[in-house]
Amino acid sequence: MGIRKLKPVTPGQRFRSVADFKEVTTDTPQKSLIASKKKSGGRNHSGKMTMRHIGGGHKQKYRIIDFKREKLGIPAVVKTIEYDPNRTARIALLAYADGEKRYILAPEKLQVGQTVVSGPGAEPVVGNALPLRNVPLGAIIHNIEMQPGKGAQLARSAGTYAQLTAKEERYAVVKLPSGETRRILLDCMVTMGNVGNSTHMNQDLGKAGRKRWLGRRPRTRGVAMNPVDHHMGGGEGRASGGHPRSRKGIPAKGYKTRAPKKASSQYIISRRKTK
C-alpha cells in the first residue's frame, strides 16, 4: 500500500495523490454482507439541518463489519482484501470453517490465504483476536473493546494502533492512539497488529470536487460570519469581535467541556497530550 502521484494533465491533478490499491484483491463485495445506506444531508428526523457541511457524495453501500470477533476457536481463511467506502481502513473477508463469511478490519501485513482465529487459545499473531488477559505485554493491538461483548470501539482508523503496557488485577493498562493511557477490563477482546492502509493520511485530495465526492460541502470561515451565526463572527472589518464564544455563551477555545464527574474518568490514568 502506497501513494501514487498523477501526471498533471489537468489542473485538478496537479497536487492530487491517490492510494495505489495494491493490497486490494477484488472490487466486488460479498452480497450477503452489504446493506443499503441512506444519506441524511446533515438533517434530523424533522428535516432541520443539525450538522453543517454534509450533503451530496457518491452513492455507497454499507459493509457489515464483525467488530466482536465472537466466533471463538473456529479458524477462518482470508479470502479477499477489499476497499470500504465507509472507512479509511481496508477490510478483509473471512471464510470460517463452518461456512460462514464475515468482514473484519484488515490489519497491516494480513495476506490472502492466511488463517486467523479468535479466542483465549489463539496465538498472538497479526489478525488473531484475543482477550487482553492473553495478550503479551508491549504488544501492538487495535480494534479494542471498551466493554466485554459490546464490540470494538477504539483504534479502528487506518494506520492506528494501541499498546498494552501493564496488567493490574482486573484491568489492563493500554496506551491509545491519542496518547491517553487508560484501564480496560482484561476480558475485552482486541485484535493483534495495527490497522492497515497507514499511508491514508498522506493523500492529497487535489481539488474541491473530490471532497464533494466524499459528501462534504463547502465550509465557510467562522470569522467571515455574524455573531449570530458563529462564535468567531462579528467585529469591524477583519477583526473578530470579542472573545470567541458560542451563541449560548460557552467559550469556544481552551474551555474544557468534559463533565468533571464523568463515570469513565476513573479509568483514565493520563489524558491525551494536547498542543
CB 60 within 8 A of CB 85: yes
* 89-115 pLDDT per residue, tens: 999 999 999 999 999 999 999 999 999
Domain extent, residue 186, equals: 3-43+55-201
Residue 165 belongs to a domain? yes
Q: Is the pLDDT of residue 52 over 70?
A: yes
pLDDT at residue number 238: 75
Residues 250-267 have pLDDT tens digits of: 787 778 888 989 999 999
When divided into structural domains, the chain yields a total of 1
For 129-156, what is each residue's pLDDT tens digit?
Answer: 999 999 999 999 999 999 999 999 999 9
- Residue 83, in any domain of the structure: yes
Residue 104 domain flag: yes
Supply 234's cell numbers: 462579528
* Residue 244 covered by a domain: no
Residue 208 belongs to a domain? no
pLDDT score at 221: 87
CATH classification at residue 111: 2.40.50.140
In a domain, 116, yes or no: yes
- Indicate the pLDDT class of residue 275, thresholds 50, 70 and 90: low
For position 205, what pLDDT does the model report? 95
Give the chain's radius of gyration (CA, Å): 22
Q: Kindly state the average pLDDT of the residues 44-49.
A: 96
pLDDT of residue 232: 79
pLDDT in tens, 168-212: 999 999 999 999 999 999 999 999 999 999 999 999 999 999 999
For range 37-66, the mean pLDDT: 95
- Answer yes or no: pTM beyond 0.85: yes
pLDDT band at 247, cuts 50/70/90? Answer: low
Instruction: Work out the number of other CB atoms within 10 angstroms of the CB of residue 132.
Output: 23
Does residue 126 sit within a domain?
A: yes
| Residues 233 and 223 sit within 8 Å (Cβ to Cβ) | yes
At 95 the pLDDT is: 97
pLDDT score, position 132 = 96
Is residue 240, in this structure, part of any structural domain at all?
no
